[in-house]
Structure 1
Amino acid sequence: MLLSQLPEDVLYHILSCLDYKSLCRLSQVCKRTYYLVNRDVVWRKIAKECLNTGITRSGTDIYPHIPLKERVKVAQNWCDGVCKKTIPLKWKTKLLPWLQLDRDLLFLSQAADIGAYHQHQGTGRLHRSPYEIYSGHKGDVCRFVLTDSHLISGGSDGKILVHSRKSDMSMELSGHNQEVNCLDSKDGLIISGSRDRTARIWTLNSSCTRRIIPMYDRVWSVAISPTSSSFVTGTACCENLSPLRIWDVERSECVCNLGSQFRRGAGVLDMVFESPFQLFTCGYDTYIRLWDLRLNPRKCVMEWEEPHDSALYCIQTDGNHMIASGSSYYGVVRFWDKRKTECLQFFQLSSDPVSSPVYCLRFSSSHLYAALATSLHSMDFRQNHIHIR
């Protein structure tokens, strides 16, 4: 029997065992093999082993509208550090900006306002002027989060503003008496943390605080579990308390402390849930840590150390093998492969004598955006580095 006479499901199974170079060569044999090789089912196994292809460890596809073959091509550039760097936005006053991505929109906080910028379709470049501005704070915006229906921001004025993304309606939540350093929202639940040494639990349908939790330390970061039944707080670690604690939402009680070997001042600046039982954290002690919340006791199972002894301000993961981190000096962004302990790639975005931290970074399948004190940097990884025809 000729290869072309085999049933398609058998052919797909055979093709899924090949590496990408073999698939590229095979695609040039004839029109039929070209058609077969370009199907997502052929590339799925390879994509799961690459960095930032949008296939999570659980098998979910984050970017189903982009062919897997194209994503594997771009993934090689992420791994090899091949990209085009630009600075789409600059400003004169030094700020502590924050950003979020939502499909083709980029949201960036600058002082008291949050601008929503369209990305040019197919290029990833930003329009210079925001198509919409969210305002209302009397001080700088410290953090903000996006949901499908709302933009929720916390400011140095101690207030939380809830903006509807579908209308001009907004709501103010007052309670903190110092700046709101961090917040998170999921399924109508809002958790905020402040310099006033409290964490607060809110709901979207009420302007009143549901619970006030004394923290006895400044709160730098919070993250709600994907199940919405618990949340984690990260503090400045200036008191004799663990900076990482898990809280039950309904009972507002501490479930457990994570770790006990933090030195004084090793505050936790950012954290990301990758699943209900996997939590990534980073901060002043220069480490990225992976915590397994299934174990008893819950403990750190992997560590990645910033090699230049810089505090880590922010992290982001692709849900599978890749971590991106932003350092406190010279705008350094690093890529890490979770299967290795050493840094995979690094990029220095700032050349100023007075360095700026990377306050926030976010990435899509093809672009990474990093917010520094006076500029927004973009890295485009869709370069012609590996030829897949």
Structure 2
Amino acid sequence: MLLSQLPEDILYHILSYLDYKSLGRLSQVCQSIYHFVNRDAVWRKIAKEFLNTGITLNGTDKYSHIPLKERVKIAQNWYDGVCRRAVPLKWKTKLLPWLQLDGNVLFLSQASDIGAYHLSQDSGRVQRKPFEIYSGHKGDVCHFALTDSHLISGGSDGKILVHSRKTDMLMELSGHNQEVNCLDSKDGLIISGSKDQTARIWTLTSTCPRDTITMYDRVWSVAISPTLSTFGTGTACCENFSPLRIWDVERSECVCSLGSQFRRGAGVLDMVFESPFQLLTCGYDTYIRLWDLRLSPRKCVMEWEEPHDSALYCIQTDGNHMIASGSSHYGVVRLWDKRQAECLQFFQLTSDSVSSPVYCLRFSSSHLYAALATTLHSLDFSKNPIYIR
């Protein structure tokens, strides 16, 4: 009996013992084996172990439109740091830009405007001119968030603007009296944090805040839990309490404080919920920390230190093994494998004579985009995939 004549369940079982290189070689045996080996079911177990294949810890697939074999090819380039670099956009004035990525559209804030740029489907290249511009702030945009239907931005003018992505409708939320440093939005819920030392809870049905929480410190970062029942806040850590706290959305009460060893000034600059019970944070103390909110007391279960003792301005996660971080000096982007203590790869995007923080970064299955003070950088990991044919 030929290998291709075996029952499918037996063949799946046999192939489950092969690594990705062996599967790539096996697919070259004949046409029928090629088509069988290329099925997603063959690659799913392997894909779970690679970086940024879109398979998350809870089993969801973020890039289901891309065959898993192709994603494993590209994932090997992420792991090895094989990429092509480009600078698709430049501007003259130094800014604090922010990014969001939605499919084939990249949103970039520049001063008081937010531009929406098409990305080429085949290459991920950023188009030179935005196809749409969201404006309305009287000062610079500090932060913005995307939902399926809205773009919500916070500015140095203390205003929060809610732009409809489907119509020209614009709503202004007033409440903060200083710049809105951070905000997050999910399912009609908006959480904002400001230099005015307050965090505010909003809904899309009112222009006034539902609740105001006095923080007694500048708020640098916020994140809403996937369950929508809690949210996290990160402050400047200039007072005698933990800069990192979890709050109940309905009661507006503090559920817990995370960590007790933060030194004065070790503010939390960015945070991301990986799941309802796992929170990633970074900031001025040069550490990325993973917090488990199921434990009692809640505590940090893993941490990774920036090797050059630079503050970490931003982080992103693939929901599984990979973390990308942006540093405060020389435009350094680092890739981390959570199963390893040391940095996996790093990319210095500026020269030693021109230093800029990485203010924000976002990545897709094949590209990473990083916003610096005067440039947008692109790292393309889809080129020249190796080892698998």
Q: TM-score, normalization: structure 2?
A: 0.99
* Residue of structure 1 in register with 2:147 after alignment: 147
* Residue of structure 2 in register with 1:168 after alignment: 168
Residues 80 and 345 in structure 1, CA contact (< 8 A), matched pair in contact too: yes
* Residue of structure 1 in register with 2:348 after alignment: 348
Q: How does 1:124-143 map to 2 (within 5 A)?
A: 124-143=124-143
2:239 corresponds to 1:249: no
Of 345-354 and 283-292, more deviation after overlay is shown by 345-354
| Aligned-pair CA distance for 1:352 | 5.5
Q: Could you give the per-residue CA deviations for residues 181-232 of structure 1, whole angstroms, max 9, x where no partner exists?
A: 0000111110000000000000011101100100000000000000000101
2:36 counterpart letter in structure 1 = L
| Aligned-pair CA distance for 1:13 | 2.5
Q: How does 1:76-95 map to 2 (within 5 A)?
A: 76-95=76-95
1:98 counterpart letter in structure 2 = W
Q: How does 1:374-389 map to 2 (within 5 A)?
A: 374-389=374-389
* Residue of structure 1 in register with 2:47 after alignment: 47
State the identity %: 84
Residues 97 and 109 in structure 1, CA contact (< 8 A), matched pair in contact too: yes
Residues 312 and 327 in structure 2, CA contact (< 8 A), matched pair in contact too: yes
SS state at 2:17 partner: coil
Distance (whole Å) between structure 1 residues aligned to residue 12 and residue 132 of structure 2: 46
Q: How does 1:246-325 map to 2 (within 5 A)?
A: 246-325=246-325
* Residue of structure 1 in register with 2:179 after alignment: 179
2:2 corresponds to 1:2: yes
* Residue of structure 2 in register with 1:111 after alignment: 111
* Count of aligned pairs between the two proteins: 389
Q: Could you give the per-residue CA deviations for residues 138-191 of structure 1, whole angstroms, max 9, x where no partner exists?
A: 000000000000000000000000000000001000110000000001111100
Residues 16 and 41 in structure 1, CA contact (< 8 A), matched pair in contact too: no
Q: Could you give the per-residue CA deviations for residues 105-160 of structure 1, whole angstroms, max 9, x where no partner exists?
A: 00000000000000112110011000000000000000000000000000000000
Distance (whole Å) between structure 1 residues aligned to residue 24 and residue 353 of structure 2: 46
Distance (whole Å) between structure 1 residues aligned to residue 134 and residue 64 of structure 2: 30
Distance (whole Å) between structure 1 residues aligned to residue 128 and residue 304 of structure 2: 37
* Residue of structure 2 in register with 1:194 after alignment: 194
| Aligned-pair CA distance for 1:4 | 2.3
Distance (whole Å) between structure 2 residues aligned to residue 354 and residue 360 of structure 1: 18
| Aligned-pair CA distance for 1:28 | 1.1
1:255 counterpart letter in structure 2 = V
Distance (whole Å) between structure 2 residues aligned to residue 32 and residue 239 of structure 1: 66
* Residue of structure 2 in register with 1:96 after alignment: 96
Q: Tell me the C-alpha RMSD between the 2 structures.
A: 0.8
| Aligned-pair CA distance for 1:14 | 1.8
Q: Could you give the per-residue CA deviations for residues 283-337 of structure 1, whole angstroms, max 9, x where no partner exists?
A: 0000000000000000000000000000000000000000000000000000000
* Residue of structure 2 in register with 1:222 after alignment: 222
| Aligned-pair CA distance for 1:3 | 2.1
Distance (whole Å) between structure 2 residues aligned to residue 376 and residue 100 of structure 1: 13
Distance (whole Å) between structure 2 residues aligned to residue 259 and residue 200 of structure 1: 23
SS state at 1:49 partner: coil
| Aligned-pair CA distance for 1:385 | 4.1
Distance (whole Å) between structure 2 residues aligned to residue 261 and residue 335 of structure 1: 26
Distance (whole Å) between structure 1 residues aligned to residue 16 and residue 67 of structure 2: 15
Q: How does 1:47-86 map to 2 (within 5 A)?
A: 47-86=47-86
Residues 21 and 387 in structure 2, CA contact (< 8 A), matched pair in contact too: no
Distance (whole Å) between structure 1 residues aligned to residue 120 and residue 47 of structure 2: 26
Unaligned runs of 5+ in 1: none
Distance (whole Å) between structure 1 residues aligned to residue 370 and residue 346 of structure 2: 13
Distance (whole Å) between structure 1 residues aligned to residue 209 and residue 2 of structure 2: 70
Of 2-11 and 14-23, more deviation after overlay is shown by 2-11
Distance (whole Å) between structure 1 residues aligned to residue 58 and residue 209 of structure 2: 35
